[in-house]
Amino acid sequence: MSTSVSPLAPTDVPDMPAIAGVRLATAQAGIRYANRTDVLLALFDEGTTVAGVFTRSKCPSAPVEWCRARLNAGKARALVVNSGNANAFTGKTGRASTKLTADITAKAVGCKPSEIFLASTGVIGEPLDATKFAPVMDGLAARAQAGGFFDAAKAIMTTDTFPKVATATVRIGKAKVTINGVAKGAGMIAPDMATMLSFVFTDAAIAAPTLQALLKDGVTDTFNAVTIDGDTSTSDTLMMFATGKAEGCPRIARVSDPRLKAFKKALLAVLADLSEQVARDGEGARKLVEIVVEGAVSKASARRIAMSIANSPLVKTAIAGEDANWGRVVMAVGKAGEPADRDKLSIWFAGVRVAHKGARDPGYDEAKVSAEMKKPEIYLKVALGLGKGRDRVLTCDLTKEYVAINGDYRS
Amino acid sequence: MSTSVSPLAPTDVPDMPAIAGVRLATAQAGIRYANRTDVLLALFDEGTTVAGVFTRSKCPSAPVEWCRARLNAGKARALVVNSGNANAFTGKTGRASTKLTADITAKAVGCKPSEIFLASTGVIGEPLDATKFAPVMDGLAARAQAGGFFDAAKAIMTTDTFPKVATATVRIGKAKVTINGVAKGAGMIAPDMATMLSFVFTDAAIAAPTLQALLKDGVTDTFNAVTIDGDTSTSDTLMMFATGKAEGCPRIARVSDPRLKAFKKALLAVLADLSEQVARDGEGARKLVEIVVEGAVSKASARRIAMSIANSPLVKTAIAGEDANWGRVVMAVGKAGEPADRDKLSIWFAGVRVAHKGARDPGYDEAKVSAEMKKPEIYLKVALGLGKGRDRVLTCDLTKEYVAINGDYRS
């Protein structure tokens, strides 16, 4: 397994400001890894609201079920995240493990277990020994302090090759509020799969139902528009915590409140930044691929066609091979099952139209396209010519390294 | 690109008997390849009925559209198949090319163009120069003779590593009838994709609508239950021709005719044999994988779950790595979107139960499973515990060779 940083990693890492009402600490609990942090504790001031969006898997992990059951109350005092073990497909043991983790944390923090949110990433099917949290939890609670978001992003990594952070500062009314986000992306741990976790923190004062609506809306074109291999994790978790501690911040309780305008935009930018970083750290990725589908009968139809292209192993291997193989794009459009008319279809690679009205574009400059395909970022556009539906998804290429990461580690 | 024969190739190749009323010939038309046959002509006696099942792609090839438009008449006098060029996404040029091919063939054979069926496999988006058929067609028509099915299977290969043939002989009433089938499977030609073609010939006397019903029914659990990479070709074509020339064969015009019982079973066996050979020759395949899902709420639900497992790159790379990674199977069940209850789920690899009721089976013998995973044929079973729905699909593993075949050929 390669430990080198993805060539697609962002070159600039932002300074992550502190968020009023959020304190962080990380520790080595020895869940699976040696010599690295594997547990994150985030403490929230009283009054913090919470929202969450989770995997649509029918076999979700125990922590996903734990969080879902406690989300309606809308209040959070702490978040515990561990890497190394996903606590997924662990049955009753898994449920007991989430309860024990919450109990240990509640005692150390001084709140109710129901105000604690949990996430786990790593091996599936292995029992998570929650007693390992007991020796470190009091220390975590004592050490927790403002800042430390980069370390937080590090502690939740599995085989991510770089920590993923993003930040934005905007105003709600006259109050300056900050949004910080961390994420872990597509990593592999024997014998397991990629799992996506992301946590967003803000000092804005936003009622839980409003926060939930904002998050749900924000995820559609960010995290839900990214695919590495089409394999949905049992553990996908995106949670957002709003402490309300930004000085002078008015309490917002309606999604349509006009004072949220800049905040919505900034939240989208943070989510988009984090989700793009996930694509940039896809297993074995050497190319970041942006796929735009326009002229579909609807946005939903454009999304399904874009995802069909993004998840096609033949398209992804062609891009790995730096081949502008539009024949495979046609195939992926055709198999999506959405309205499409071959004779109206046009395809661009890197802004060069290679196919037009159902056939190869006779005038296209193959040398120019070939040069573009060697770049680390590939822009692919499909125009269906049927309607106004447009959508965009991000993915990466499918390389031998992907197969090596996911197949070779036992041999 | 590897030219060695798949290690999963069948060790026995059946003798292919002649079919009364079918004559075959192959030739080198120089469509794309040098020094190999690339065109097949099959001639049928008058009275031959035809049935066909085609790709569900919304961007089908020109020959697929040609055949669909002529299927209702139910009569066939000739079949022309070429490899090297799929005549897909070729617009008006493609339609003109199918017409010219049919015209050339009709003249050589002495029938109507509408009685000629066409299939093409190979490069997508390149115009197919049908004038190349003209110099060889008279010779093909003159040379066509009984037998030659193995050569026919060879002529339609692209990057298949072995020709695919199957045969069965049964009785309809007192008449002995034969069913012969040929297929080409998952091959890649720069810049193209796998395309699946299969043709089945019989001397039984079966009315076209009945033949169509038999074929449609037969494909469900054979070709439609095979996936290599989840990428549907623009050219998938399965056609069946019934000459009615078997001595003393009664003419059958109802699917429910009890005299068809043995024939139905034999047809299924031929289709299953050919489709299994397609899986055995999947690009880069080193393992044949049989996936059975039982206890689903319906057969359709079991199929969708089995396909979700079969198309999961994480499951396929794990199998390539000889890893009984049932955590990834859970993931694939969970993402299928079908009813599933984690706490009722059990999973077997090679007959060994590795997971039971939502958690790892504590008693399972990992050494035994590891030994089984080294074998070339992997049997994976999932029991959902919800209902009586059961289905089975075949696939192969996802190896670095797959990526190499599909990504490296231009670099």
Q: How far from chain centre, in Å, is Cα A371?
A: 31
**Closest-CA residue in chain B for A305?**
B58
Which residues of chain B neighbour A231 with C-beta distances below 8 Å?
312-314, 328, 331-332, 335
Q: Render pLDDT for B273-287 as a digit per residue (tens, 0 to 9).
A: 887 887 788 788 899
pLDDT in tens, B124-174: 888 899 999 999 999 999 999 999 999 999 999 887 888 989 999 999 999
Give me the half-sphere count of Cα atoms (radius 13 Å) on the Cβ side of residue A182.
23
Residue in B88, B93, B403 nearest the CB of A400: B403
Across the interface, whether the CB atoms of A406 and B360 are under 8 A apart is answered no
Q: Are the CB atoms for A248 and A99 separated by under 8 Å?
A: no
CA angle at A111 for the pair A105 and A117, rounded to the nearest 5°: 55
* Angstrom distances, CA of residue B189 to CA of A208, B197, B198, B228, B332: 55, 15, 18, 16, 30
In B, minimum Cα distance to A124 occurs at B327
- Give the per-residue pLDDT at B408: 63
Average pLDDT over residues A223-237: 73
**Tens digits of per-residue pLDDT, A88-100?**
888 889 999 999 9
More confident residue, B407 or B109: B109
Nearest CA-CA distance, residue A193 and chain B, Å: 6
pLDDT band at A190 (very low <50, low <70, confident <90, very high): very low
Cβ <8 Å between A359 and B190: no
Closest of B239, B167, B173 to residue B205, by C-alpha: B173
Integer Cα distance of B379 and B361 in angstroms: 18
Minimal Cα distance from A320: which residue of B? B407
Give the strands of the sheet with A78-85, arranged side by side: A22-27, A39-44, A78-85, A116-123
Task: Give the one of A320, A335, A343 whose C-beta lies nearest to B232's C-beta.
Answer: A335
CB contact under 8 A, A58 and B339: yes
Residue A101: is it exposed, middle or buried by C-beta count within 10 angstroms (0-12/13-18/19+)? buried
Identify the DSSP state of B33: -
What is the DSSP code string of B141-209?
Answer: HHH-BS--HHHHHHHT-SS-SS-EEEEEEEEETTEEEEEEEEEE-S---TT-----EEEEEE-S-B-HH
Lowest mean pLDDT among A134-143, B227-236, B313-322: B227-236
Rounded CA-CA distance B175/B247 in Å is 6
- Distance from C-alpha of B227 to C-alpha of B393, rounded to nearest angstrom: 8
pLDDT, chain A, mean: 88
Of B57, B328, B411, the CB nearest to A322: B411
pLDDT, average across residues A399-404: 86
The answer to whether residue B234 scores a pLDDT higher than 90 is no
- Output the pLDDT for position A222: 77
For residue B193, the model assigns a pLDDT of 38
For testing contact with chain B, the best of A87, A89, A228 (most B CBs within 10 A): A89
Higher pLDDT, B394 or A108: A108
Taking the CB of residue A356, how many other CB atoms lie within 10 A of it? 18
Asked whether residue B342 carries a pLDDT value surpassing 80, the answer given is yes
pLDDT(A341) > 50: yes
Q: Residue B11's pLDDT is what? A: 87
CA distance to partner chain B, nearest, from residue A162 (Å): 22
Residue B201: pLDDT band with limits 50, 70, 90: confident
Residue B352 has pLDDT above 90, yes or no: yes
Q: In this predicted structure, what is the pLDDT of residue A3?
A: 57
For chain B, the structural domain boundaries read: 22-280, 288-407
CA dist., res. A182 & res. A177, Å (int): 17
Band of pLDDT at residue B30, cut at 50, 70 and 90: very high
Please, are residues B323 and A122 in contact by the beta-carbon 8 Å criterion? no
Residues 6+ apart with CB under 8 A from B395: B226, B227, B228, B279, B282, B289, B291, B310, B311, B316
- Summarize the confidence of residues A180-199 as an average pLDDT: 60
Where residue A49 falls among pLDDT bands split at 50, 70, 90?
very high
**Probe site for chain A from B89, B188, B307 (most A CB atoms < 10 A):** B89
What pLDDT does A192 receive?
38
Q: Is it the case that residue B1 has pLDDT exceeding 90?
A: no
Which pLDDT score, from 0 to 100, does residue A110 have?
A: 96
Stated pTM of the model: 0.83
Phi, psi at residue A174, to the nearest 5°? Answer: -95, -5
Considering CB atoms only, which of A94, A127, A340 is closest to B59? A340
Residue A185: predicted pLDDT: 76
Local confidence band at A195 (pLDDT 50, 70, 90 cut-offs): low
CB contact under 8 A, A234 and B408: no
- Structure confidence at residue B186 as a pLDDT band (50, 70, 90): low
Mean pLDDT of A359-369: 89
CA distance A27 to chain B (A): 27
Helix (H) or strand (E) holding A391: strand A389-396
H-helix or E-strand containing A272? helix A261-280
Q: Is the pLDDT of residue A191 over 60?
A: no
Higher pLDDT, A216 or B108: B108
User: Tell me, what's the pLDDT at B187?
Assistant: 42
Give whole-number Cα distances, A197 to A55, A81, A87, A192, in Å. Answer: 10, 9, 14, 15
> Could you tell me which CATH number the domain at A22-280 has?
3.60.70.12
Model pLDDT, residue B189: 25
Whether residue A5 has pLDDT greater than 80: yes
pLDDT digits (tens, 9 = 90+) for A250-290: 999 999 999 999 999 999 998 888 878 877 887 888 999 99
Query: In percent, how much of chain B has pLDDT > 90?
Result: 56
Do residue B313 and residue A231 have CB atoms under 8 angstroms apart?
yes
CB contact under 8 A, A322 and B230: no
- Contact call for B90 and A359, based on CB within 8 A: yes
Cα–Cα distance measured from residue B261 to residue B269, given in angstroms and rounded to the nearest whole number = 13
**Which of chain A's residues have a Cβ under 8 Å away from the Cβ of B190?**
323
Which DSSP helix (H) or strand (E) runs through A169? Answer: strand A164-172
Q: Are A232 and A281 in contact (CB under 8 A)?
A: no
Residues of B recognised as catalytic: 195
Is B59 strand, coil or helix?
A: coil
Percent of chain B with pLDDT over 70: 95
Nearest chain B residue to A231, by CA:
B312
In this complex, do B337 and A58 lie within 8 Å of one another by their Cβ atoms?
A: yes
Catalytic residues of A: 195
* Interface test mutation site (partner A, options B54, B55, B57, max chain A beta carbons within 10 A): B57
CATH class of B288-407: alpha beta
- Shortest Cα–Cα distance, A192 to chain B (Å): 6
Question: Given a cut of 70, is residue B334 above it in pLDDT?
Answer: yes
**Which of A142-156, A289-303, B5-19 is predicted least confidently?**
B5-19
Using CB atoms, pick whichever of B123, B313, B319 lies closest to residue A229: B313
In terms of C-beta density within 10 A (0-12 exposed, 13-18 middle, 19 or more buried), how is residue A147 classed?
A: middle
Kindly state the tokens that stand for B89.
Answer: 């996404």
Q: Are B340 and A312 within 8 A, CB to CB?
A: no
ipTM greater than cut 0.85: no
pLDDT tens digits, B32-90: 888 999 999 999 999 999 998 888 888 889 999 999 999 999 999 999 999 999 998 88
At residue A292, the pLDDT reads: 96
The pLDDT value recorded for residue A409 is: 46
Q: Is A57–B335 a contact, with Cβ atoms under 8 angstroms apart?
A: yes
Residue bearing the bigger pLDDT, A226 or B266: B266
Spatial separation of the C-alpha atoms in residues A154 and A176, rounded to whole Å: 27
From chain A, the residues in CB contact with B229 under 8 A are 313-314
